[in-house]
Amino acid sequence: MVNITHKYSTLRKAIAEAVVSVSSQDTIDAIVNHKVPKGNVFEMSKTAGLFAAKKTSDVIPDCHPLPIEYTSIQFEIRNLDIHVTSEIHTIYKTGVEVEAMHSASVVALTMYDMLKPIDKNIEIKNIKLLEKKGGKSDRKDSGEGIDASVIVCSDSIFAGKKEDKAGKAIVAALEKHHVAINDYVVIPDEIKEIQEKIKSDVEQGTRLIMITGGTGLSKRDVTPEAVRPLLEREIPGVAEAIRSYGQLRTPYSMLSRSLAGMIGDTLVIALPGSTKGAEESMDAIFPGILHIYKIVAGAQH
């Protein structure tokens, strides 16, 4: 199956449809008046559809097992066509489109099985996805028009004893979200140098400052002490999201002192210095964090 461990859970919804066509009004009348020998067609097929939604991963190889938290199966008769819709909700890392289509399909198959003794010309058609919501594909936030400075705070990397990987991972993630990189620099773990670099970037009008390193608890980890006094408005939820996402992947994420906030219209974010920590932090907050620029420009949430 596709690896979804890097994703985070969001509300996902999907609605799928299947159409069951019968050959005569007599069949429709039998369904409506509960005269079908095998029983109540709508109730029986709805039950089958509920089971199908929950069992999708058992029969579709690449589907991930996931919690089905809401299912609604509806029927609408239009002449000799019965339109079946299955709506499914979950809060998870991946969508429920296949679950909705599988559910609608099994409802239609169950109806076929129940109706075939009285109608030999039933047809199942137009099984399709009507709507899906949730996940990153729904978020239209883009980094186009935003420039960024990436600052690597590390004594060892500045001295040439280690190679920077975290900063380069941040650059790659920003470029994926169409953010322009106008500076990339390595500096030592010194409060004064960190603050001077941030102030310089803000004065130049840089819209996004990404800092990696110095957010731990060693004696040389001073990035939060350098950044926090400069912030005009701290954004606690960003750091909370980073640590919450990381804690699901390592028990040490709670020890990170990542932080974020605004200096004027410039967003400043300080991330861990490990490559994995930087990558996971970017996964945790992008592209949603880019919505800040719409808010700054006067848009509503």
Contact call for residues 248 and 283 (beta carbons, < 8 A): no
Return d(Cα 173, Cα 7) in angstroms, integer. Answer: 14
Sequence-distant (6+) residues with CB within 8 A of 198 are 151, 209, 211, 226, 227, 230, 263, 268
- Provide the greatest CA pair distance for the chain: 85
Q: In this structure, what DSSP letter does residue 216 have?
A: S
Query: Which of 249, 250, 274, 32 is closest to 258 using CA atoms?
Result: 274
Strand order in the sheet with 10-21: 70-78, 81-92, 10-21, 123-133
The pair of three-digit structure tokens given for residue 272, joined into one six-digit string: 């861990």
The pair of three-digit structure tokens given for residue 13, joined into one six-digit string: 């919804």
Strand residues in 60-165 grouped as ranges (E) = 70-78, 81-92, 123-133, 147-153
Sequence-distant (6+) residues with CB within 8 A of 121 are 22, 23
Catalytic residues: 113
